[in-house]
Structure 1
Amino acid sequence: MSSHKFLLHEAQDDVGVAVQDIKAGEKVMGVDIHSGEEFHVTANHDIQLGHKIALKSKKQGENLIKYGENVGKVTQDIKVGDWVHTHNLKTARWDYGN
């Protein structure tokens, strides 16, 4: 692990954002953009550039935090290292109270 593969934008975030493609089973390093703290996670799935990798386990129905903001509700349990996307997250942006 010589360079970081994801960024953590806010300390309370549940996910990091991939800055390079990540392969399932790969042990990757991420960096907090404010503190420089490093995080190490093993990816459970392939994760494309710009997509989210779970840094915290989340249960169905819980809110998910990214960029320090609630970005949606978890629709199925998420484990550390999982790919987080539309298959397991209902984005708050499109939830008009329905």
Structure 2
Amino acid sequence: MPVTAILIRAQDHVATLTGPVAAGDAVLITGQGKTREIIARNDMPAGHKLAIRPIQEHEQILKYGEVIGEATADIAEGGHVHTHNCWGVKARRHS
């Protein structure tokens, strides 16, 4: 049975994994919109973010319908979205 990932808002770029996945595993995207399947491109632990569409380098990343970070590299659909390819804007202080 495929692992699911929850899409919180329809406009989000990422969904949150409910269980761990291995590269090549099918992931069912549930929550908002029609349920669909994406193939995981990387091994990822539960609770991490999966790109539900391609994200370009320097593009803002949406989760909860809000910007949570910016991609520091291109991220393919099904890719792991984490500190190795994005930086968070929520924790950054602006002076």
Aligned to 2:74: 77
Unaligned runs of 5+ in 1: none
Aligned to 1:54: 51
Identity, % of aligned positions: 31
For residue 6 of structure 1, give the secondary structure of its aligned residue in structure 2. strand
CA distance in 1, matches of 2:36, 2:7: 9
Query: Alignment length, in residue pairs?
Result: 95
Within a 5 Å distance, the mapping from 1:1-98 to structure 2 comes to 2=1, 4-32=3-31, 34-35=32-33, 37-97=34-94
Runs of 4+ in structure 1 displaced over 3 angstroms?
A: none
TM-score (normalised: structure 2)? 0.91
Contact conserved, 2:2 with 2:26, CA < 8 A, in 1?
A: no
**What are the Cα deviations for residues 44-96 of structure 1, in whole angstroms up to 9, with x where unaligned?**
00111100000011111110001111001110110001000011110012222
Contact conserved, 1:5 with 1:22, CA < 8 A, in 2?
A: no
RMSD: 1.5
CA distance in 1, matches of 2:39, 2:49: 13
Unaligned runs of 5+ in 2: none
